[in-house]
Every structure is written in C-alpha cells, then in structure tokens.
Amino acid sequence: MFSKATANFVRQVDPDGSFIHVSRVNDSLKLLPLALVVKRNRFWFWQSPKYLPTDFTLADLLQGTEPLQHSVSRSEFVSFQGTFRDKCMGKLDTEASSISVSLEGRGISKLQSSFNKLDKEKLDVKELLQGSTNRLVDMQHVLVRQLKKKSEVLVVVKEVVLTTSPCSLTHTRRDQCALKGALSLLSQLGGSVQVSVKESNSVEVDSDVSLEIPSGTVIAFSVMELEIEKDGQFIIGVQPNTIGGIHSDMWRSDDSLYTVDGRSSQEGAPVLLGALLDENTDLELGPLALLHQESRRSILKDLREVARDRTVLSSLQCLLQDLSLGEKLKVAGHGGELSDSQWELVWAVLRGLGEEELTCSSSSGESALLSAAHLLVSALEELPDKTLSLLSCCSPDLLEAFNSLLRSLKESTEPLLSLQRLAQPLRDEQTLQQGAQLLSCTNTALRWDGERLWLQGESDDGEGGAGLPALVLYTAVCGLSLLAK
C-alpha cells in the first residue's frame, strides 16, 4: 500500500523526472541527503533498476577522519492528496456434457493518499564537489568489497521529499464472486422428463486498511551515481543519466538496449508490432506449455493473486531470478516484510513449478522452466497497475484472444491488418476495446474500422510517462495464455 501510494505520487508530480519512489516505510529511515544507496540493474534489459538503501553515507566511504564538507537546504515542495481507483471484472463459463458452471467476479480497489504538505531537502552539490576534492574512496570498505556484481552501482542521495506532519493512507477493497451451477438429466420414461438442480452462491469480501505515516517520512528521492577507479579516485555524476560503476567491473550501458524495443514510434504513424519484438520470446516461454494442465491452472490462479500485491510480486521475481541462475533457494534477504499469507502465495507458485525444479543443481545453473517463469514474472512486475489489474482478471478465453491478437499483429508484414484474418472472438467490439486498453501502455493505440485494424504511434501512455516496451506486454500476455490453455 505504501509503495503504491508513493509510486502514484511520483507519477503525478514528476513523470519522466529524476525522482524514485520509496517502496518500504523502513527504508525511509536510511534515506537522507548524502546517504549511499546500491543501484542494482536487473536481469532483463527492460526492467527498472532496484534501489537498496544502506546504513552508510558518502563520508563513511572516504579515507581519512576529516569531516566531509557539505550542506543541505530545506524548502517547501507541494501539498498532495490523491484517490486512485481500479475496477476489475471477469467471467468464466464452462460446460461439459450435462454440467455447466458459471463463475463471475468483480472487484473495486481504492487507494486514498493524504500526504498533505511536503518539504524537499536538497544537497548542495557545488559545495560537495569542492569538499570532496582530493579525497579517495576506501577500497577496503565493507560496502565496496561486497559489491561483487557489476550490475551493482553505488549512488548518493541528492534530494528527498518528506512529510511534514502525520498523514494517512487508506486502502479499500470490495470483491464479489458469484458461482452458479446447473445439472440437467434427460431420461426416457414413456416420454421426456427433465430434472434440473441449480445452485447459486455469492461471496463478498470487504477490507479497509489504514496506515498512519509519521512526520519526516521520506516518500521519494533522487540520486547521483559514483564512478570509482581502482586507486579510489571517484567522480560524482552530476549530469542526468550519468552511469557509474567500480574500476574494472565498471558497468556500462548499451544505449540501444534502453530505448523502447530498440526503436521509437512516431506519433500518428502506423506501427509494425513485429519490428518491436524479440523473435526468441515464444521459445523462451515455451517450457510453461509443457507443464501438466493441473500445474498450469494452479500457477495461473496463484499468479493472479500475486499480481494484486506488488510487494509479493517483487519478492517472487527476486527468488525466481536466483533459482534460474542456479542459486539455492534462500528465503532470507527476499521480502523480509512479507506476512505469512504473502509468503504462502509466493511458495504456492514455486510449488506449481515442481519440487524437482527447485532442488536441481546443474553446472550451468540454468533451468529452462525456471527461466521461463522468471521471464513471465519479470514482465508482469513491469506492467503498470491498470494493465496488471486487467490481465489478472481475464478469463482463459480472453487471455487466449489477447494473445491471438498480439500474435496476428506481430506476424503481419503490413501496417494494416484485415479483420477477416482475426479469429471470430477478436472481431467482437468489446474484446477489441479491451485489447486497446492493454496496448495503450506501450505508446501505441489500437485502431480499427469496419474492415481493417492497425497500430498507431502516440506521444505518451496517457499518464504522463514513457510508454512500456511492447516486448514486455507481449511477454506477459503470451506467458499467461500458455498457462491458461
């Protein structure tokens, strides 16, 4: 709830800017100007980095005992209150012989954030640069020695946004589920006699959770990356998007990997989806289709629950990353704030993948199934809330329809696609509108007339932010549809 509220704040106040939302209340205590944070770049090129606060400041990292000259200014920032609503509806009809079952669900989620008056504390960068001249990093410091991965970079907190008075977050959730079943029996007893037994059940779940946030809680921050040489000399990246790292393991990004699918879409122009996707995606997700039907259904059900809680989704992604790389399953260090019920959701997905996959160990540390599951969960984690909510409520038939739509667009060699080439369910107006909702997060709009369908580039995703790579959406839909079959 806290993470979602702070993410909404950043999207509204600083879209495409430098602010990073704080995911956990406990992290707020470690975030202050000059604090050191570990930026961990993720496994897939399109994943957002993770920022892990530490217990150290830049002054702790430098050699010598003299204080590091710096100053921090404080000023009023904004007053913020927001209410965000998500609606989710889904229906599943199943009929086998004389038995029919209908399951219909709908849910409404409302998050109200009242951060009230907010202040900003900012580091005086010029003074910091002057005060750190001729200072060296202690390369034997425990924090430096523990940065073993070149995907990890040290960054310095430049500014923070914090509350000035106690405030509250309120999350209201209303879930309704209706189950109807019917059994019909036809027999011949000198005529036609029909016996019908019907049953209908309805379940409603209401929950209201309030969280009180104390004064001085950091909800967003910005950073500057450190570039550290082998001899301890360092440079503070004061320009936006400056990339840092440590000596020979210094991480450098390939700019082509961080553009939207390697290409940009021109506003108003037809877009070829196939040009924006990776041809290997289907093969990498393929092992999910080899699971037993019961396992696939179980994983899909559990993933829908996991998708409703980003904290659980993030913890599952981290565990699957470790497992797919051949590391042993270790709960410690992943999602330490998860409750027992949240951990049960994570473990349910892992059980669905099979115990043999969790305990196997190979020299290469690779498992095709775990890699496929990690790819799917990583894509789900990157989806915006509205898209994630829509996918988590889709019936198997609707997931397959969406997958068929994206596949048809992917395989088309022309910008305009004939509606006659689409499967019959995709010609339904409501299905096309829902497909347009999905694609709206990718800076592309789905358009159609009586005969043709096409994708059109847009300037943004409608929420003031950069569009999601089409590859991420395609990966999520393709993976879920494989589980739904």
The rounded average pLDDT for each run of 10 residues, N- to C-terminus, in the chain (485 residues) is: 83 84 88 93 79 93 88 87 59 46 54 82 93 89 80 90 88 58 40 42 56 89 91 85 61 36 42 58 86 90 88 87 69 58 87 62 58 91 86 84 81 73 73 82 79 70 55 89 89
Lookup: tokens for 328 = 């042993």
106: left (phi over 0), alpha (psi -120 to 50) or beta: beta
Lookup: tokens for 156 = 């310095």
Look at residue 330 in the predicted model and tell me its pLDDT. 54
The alpha carbon dihedral of 383, 386, 387, 388 has a sign of positive
Look at residue 483 in the predicted model and tell me its pLDDT. 92
Residues contacting 346, CB < 8 A, separation 6+:
306, 312, 315, 316, 319, 335, 338
Look at residue 431 in the predicted model and tell me its pLDDT. 79
Question: Any idea what DSSP says for residue 62?
Answer: B
CB-based contact 380:302 (threshold 8 Å): no
- Taking the model in full, what pTM does it have? 0.64
DSSP assignment of 470-481 equals HHHHHHHHHHHH
What is the distance, to the nearest Å, from the Cα of residue 69 to the centroid of all Cα atoms in its chain?
Answer: 39
CB-hemisphere CA count at 13 Å for 325? Answer: 10
| Amino acid at residue number 121 | E
Lookup: tokens for 475 = 């990966």
Q: Where does 325-367 have alpha helices with state H? A: 340-352, 355-359
The CA distance from 241 to 253, in Å, is 11
Which residue's structure tokens are 């440079």? Answer: 235
Look at residue 83 in the predicted model and tell me its pLDDT. 67
Rg from Cα positions in the chain: 25
- Return the closest-CA partner of residue 32 out of 149, 141, 119, 134: 119
Look at residue 441 in the predicted model and tell me its pLDDT. 80
268: left (phi over 0), alpha (psi -120 to 50) or beta: left
Between the CA of residue 295 and those of 102, 237, 334, 369, 408, what are the distances in Å?
Answer: 22, 48, 24, 13, 28
- Return the closest-CA partner of residue 299 out of 125, 474, 120, 483: 483
